[in-house]
Amino acid sequence: MPVILYHNPKCSKSCQTLELLVEHGIAPEIVEYLKSPPTAEQLQEILNLLGMAPRDLMRKKEDVYAECELDNASLTDEDLLGFMVKHPILIERPIVLANGKATIGRPPEQVLDILH
């Protein structure tokens, strides 16, 4: 099973996570999610692996979060997934999938827990 890295090359934590994977002999499949956003179904699968709700995976300090009033408690998980697909900058990064597990590379060393 390949290791998949949802990566933003402009993000220092994402770059550090990629570097850490390479240092450990892993050449991950890189998904530049800002160019190729995951579908709502893929995001739900990632959330299931992370054990998180959509709002937990959102970057709340992004301008679009405030602009779209995503702090509105009446928004459903489906609504939030739709916003993340439409505005992938909202998705926390980096996300690593490996061995049927997922984690967020914050800190980057956290990804080592799912590699074996």
Q: Out of 1, 8, 9, 11, which one is annotated catalytic?
A: 11
CA distance 34 to 14: 13
Contact by Cβ (8 Å): 105, 17: yes
Does 68 qualify as catalytic in the annotation?
no
Check if the beta carbon of residue 112 is closer than 8 Å to that of residue 21. Answer: no
Find all residues with CB under 8 Å of 57, minimum gap 6, and list them: 43, 46, 47, 50, 84, 91, 92, 104
Q: Give the separation between CA 5 and CA 85, rounded to whole angstroms.
A: 17
Which residues are known catalytic residues?
Answer: 11
